[in-house]
Amino acid sequence: MEPLVSIITPTLNIVENNHADEFNLLVSLLELQTYPRIEHIIIDGASTDETVELLKDYKNKGYLNFYTEKDTGKFHAMNKGVMRAKGKYVAFASCDDFFHDITAIYDAINTIEAQNSDFLFSPAYCRHPENYTFLFVPAMYNAFQVMPCALQGMIFKKSVLEEEKYFDEKFKLMADFDLIMRLLIKKRKGIYFDTNYTTYKLGDHTYNNEEQCINETKLIYRKNFRNMYPLDNEDTLDAMARFSEFPQPLLEKLSECFVPEDKELFLERCEQLHGIRLENYQNAPK
């Protein structure tokens, strides 16, 4: 029998925020997936509009299960979803995301099972708040500098998330960045799935709060690199978070998270991204 897959969706006031149609698309396309064993778990943050009635209707039709109670943010909700999940594998989708390829979960689970991987990552379409869409291609060699792939294009073994103690909830915007970093540092086995099956929306809160993202990134670096390199200098941390300018000794240490033959490629990609981000900053309107 195929292993169960749990799809976890955090929600809050779907109706009031005009996401009901997008949520219906997510639910409908999950129902059309060719993979036979999917559970859809909704973790609602105690919505105050008609969302709970909407969720009850979907539950009564057999599409999903839901829980509604207050939470401290989306990553708290996702963690509660993982704890309630019955699946061997877990994936995440917001209420305005959807899986546009109905065969992809079947193929992805076959891939991750065949490779006995801890997690899978894939390309994904990103709907930008400024009303355009682009293909987010994973860049795992840059995973310590920027978010390397879309969380919505990833599938995790539930047991690995449990062993890693889930998302770190003190990071309200960047907990997924922290999680991927931890997986790589501990050399968890990831597999690239070369199929774009997810369309997701870049959150307005993340897009409009650059300084909070920068500050959380600094804390993530201190947390994860403290045993590799001293990061007491605020200017160094700021350059790392804003421009991907990493001290060379730290890069040497981080290269050990990849196979030895990829070291030079890792260092090259890190330097390329630093150059791109620095140039963008210098050319930005002041």
| pLDDT at residue 276, rounded to an integer | 95
Q: Is residue 153 part of a domain?
A: yes
Contact between 256 and 208 under an 8 Å Cβ cutoff? The reply is: no
Number of domains in the chain: 2
Helix-then-strand count for the chain, H and E = 11, 11
| Same domain as 269, residue 156 | no
Claim to verify: residue 247 and residue 186 sit in the same structural domain: no
Question: What gap in Å lies between CA 25 and CA 30, rounded to an integer?
Answer: 8
121 and 253 together in one domain = no
pLDDT band at residue 285 under the 50/70/90 scheme = confident
* Pick from 173-177, 185-189, 205-209: least confident: 205-209
Q: Specify if 234 maps to a domain.
A: yes
Backbone angles phi, psi at 35, to 5 degrees: -70, 130
Which domain covers residue 241, as residue numbers? 229-283
pLDDT digits (tens, 9 = 90+) for 199-225: 999 887 777 889 999 999 999 999 999
Tell me which residue has tokens 């086995």: 189
Q: Please choose, from the candidates 99, 118, 93, 116, the residue with its C-alpha nearest in 3D space to the C-alpha of residue 41.
A: 93
Tell me: do 233 and 192 sit in the same domain. Answer: no
Indicate whether 57 and 160 sit together in one domain: yes
Residue 286 has pLDDT above 70, yes or no: no
Residues 94 and 32 in one domain: yes
- Decide if 219 is inside a domain: no
Q: Within this chain, do residues 258 and 156 fall inside the same structural domain, yes or no?
A: no
